A and B are shown apart, each in its own frame.
Chain A
Amino acid sequence: GAVVSQHPSRVICKSGTSVKIECRSLDFQATTMFWYRQFPKQSLMLMATSNEGSKATYEQGVEKDKFLINHASLTLSTLTVTSAHPEDSSFYICSAPPPGGVTDTQYFGPGTRLTVL
């Protein structure tokens, strides 16, 4: 099946620094990708929809200046956590539906564990 990769799988950074997380669709093109975050023992919360060639669409309550999203190509979306703080520590997961697919065929990346010290 289609594969979505994320890099890095784990990152530890100091408070105040910025961290970039990559999401790649490996064998299909994705005009849309989604970014989720998951706190321990909680649900996946949708943060934003990444749109190739246009601005991302952020969910209510998500700071777009804090979480910068760039969908540079049909196979790559990046999430940059700017001026990270300990409360940004979380598990970040991306997903992508293949072209023409319906919601059920979204493919998920393995996630990136961010720890901000």
Chain B
Amino acid sequence: AQSVSQHNHHVILSEAASLELGCNYSYGGTVNLFWYVQYPGQHLQLLLKYFSGDPLVKGIKGFEAEFIKSKFSFNLRKPSVQWSDTAEYFCAVPRGNNRLAFGKGNQVVVIP
């Protein structure tokens, strides 16, 4: 079954710093990949997704992710973070029948 792994569970950085969160997936066939975000006290919501086409995917709030098949990676990036980007970020991959498998998440804290 497909799965994803995330590293560096806690990330602390200052405003205007660049952010990159790693996500590696386990399956080598057709891959759909997602990044979800959970702001403090809020629902999980979709940040961006990759199904096919351009491997550089643009999401909401200035986030982007690049699908690199040769590296089995789908890293999330933002060139300049804001305090409001403090949240938990989850990489996810479908498991069939509308189910999702999530990574362990990255807790990101942006210091003003």
Contacts and interface: CB of A to CB of B under 8 A. Distances in A.
Interface residues of B, number: 25
Interface string A85-117: 000000001010100001111111111000000
Contacts of A4: 43
A46 B49 contact: no
Contact of B103 (A43, A49, A104): A43
Given A104-B34, A110-B42, A44 B90 contact: yes
A43 B104 contact: yes
Nearest to B94: A103
A43 B102 contact: yes
A109 B38 CA distance: 11
A52 B79 CA distance: 44
A54 interface: no
Given A46-B99, A103-B32, A41 B44 contact: no
A109 B42 CA distance: 9
A108 B51 CA distance: 21
A46 B105 contact: no
A42 B99 contact: no
Interface of A: 4, 32, 34, 36, 41-46, 49, 93, 95, 97, 102-111
Given A4-B43, A108-B45, 14 more contacts: A32-B98, A41-B9, A41-B105, A43-B104, A44-B102, A46-B95, A46-B99, A49-B97, A49-B99, A103-B34, A104-B32, A104-B34, A104-B49, A110-B42
